[in-house]
Amino acid sequence: MSNLRLSAPLAALFAVFAWTSAEAREIDLIVIHATGGPGCKQGKLWHAPGGTLTSIRRYFAKNPNIGYHYLIGRDGTIVAGTPESRIAHHARGHNKGSIGIELVNDGDGRDPFPEAQIDALIGLLKRLDRTYDISPSQVKGHSELDNRSFECGGRRYKQKIDPGGAFPGSAGNFPWSRVRDALR
């Protein structure tokens, strides 16, 4: 792929399609995600680990039907994904007017969210607030928007518990009050 060379007219055309939205987007929601999540393996509940910036970027590259606008690593590194002007498929039924932010984290309510990561998230949210006039109540966790569940070992479990929610045996550990208070 690195050897791909486009003629000047084709390169210009590709750039237009890659960065231009088909319609204007009004942003009224920011959705916070964690890259890990629950699942069922051989009838037992398990939790997929959150991975690394590199592994998550690779995962999204291989799965073009899902996306993010920003990915924040444990060290606070922010990686831009889908341009804000375009829809990223990250929160079923809420994609059109939202920005999706993925945090590299197991999302199990036990894996800590490092200070650098939360500081980077707050900085990004403040920038998005200046751009879109977002209130703290318009910043939601994926778990607040998606109530789907799955069966495993004869029990039902909530499918989306991110960013750091109620995995069995955990009360959750995402610092919602700190994040939302920073936007007041």
Given a contact cutoff of 8 angstroms between Cβ atoms, the answer to whether 170 and 47 are in contact is no
**pLDDT tens digits, 110-120:** 889 999 999 99
- Is the pLDDT confidence value at 89 over 70? yes
Label residue 164 by pLDDT band (50, 70, 90).
confident
Report the mean per-residue pLDDT for the chain.
84
What is each CA distance from 85 to 18, 35, 69, 132, in whole angstroms? 11, 23, 10, 12
pLDDT for 168: 53
Cα–Cα distance for residue pair 107/25, rounded to 1 Å:
29
Given a contact cutoff of 8 angstroms between Cβ atoms, the answer to whether 91 and 98 are in contact is yes
103 forms beta bridges with: 34, 72
DSSP conformation letters of 26-94: ---EEEEEES-EEEEETTEEEEE----HHHHHHHHHH-TT---SEEE-TTS-EEE-S-TTS----STT-
- Is the pLDDT confidence value at 9 over 90? no
| Domains of the chain as residue ranges with CATH | 29-179 (3.40.80.10)
Q: Quick one: average pLDDT of 163-170?
A: 61
**pLDDT tens digits, 25-84:** 799 999 999 999 888 999 999 888 999 999 999 998 998 888 999 999 999 999 999 999
pLDDT for 171: 57
User: Tokens in use for 42?
Assistant: 């051989």
- Is the pLDDT confidence value at 105 over 70? yes
**CB-CB neighbours of 86 under 10 Å:** 16
